[in-house]
Amino acid sequence: MSVPAGSANTGLVLAGAVAKGAFEIGAAQVLAQRPYGITRIAATSSGALNAAILGAGLAFDELSTAVDVATAL
C-alpha cells in the first residue's frame, strides 16, 4: 500500500493465539480498503504467519490480494 504524501508511517502489530489470527485477517480486510500507508508490521505466533502474507502483499502494493490469500488459508 503506498504511503500518501505528507502522511505518517503506520505500523501494524499482530498478536499471537489462533483466534486472534482469524480476527486480524478480518481487520486487515478493512485496512486494505483505506489508505493507511502501513510501512511496518510487528508480529508473534499466528500473527507472524499473517504478517508474512500481509507483508508480501504490502511489498508489491497488493494488500487486498494478500488479504484474500490469507482468508482462503
pLDDT of residue 50: 93
Rounded-to-integer distance, Cα 3 and Cα 15, Å = 24
pLDDT exceeds 80 at position 31: yes
Instruction: Report the amino acid identity of residue 57.
Output: G
pLDDT tens sequence across 4-22: 555 667 888 998 887 788 8
pTM value?
A: 0.80
Rounded-to-integer distance, Cα 62 and Cα 56, Å = 8
Rounded (5°) CA angle 18-56-19: 10
pLDDT exceeds 80 at position 71: yes
C-alpha cell of residue 5 = 504524501
pLDDT tens sequence across 33-55: 887 788 899 999 989 999 999 99
Rounded-to-integer distance, Cα 37 and Cα 8, Å = 8
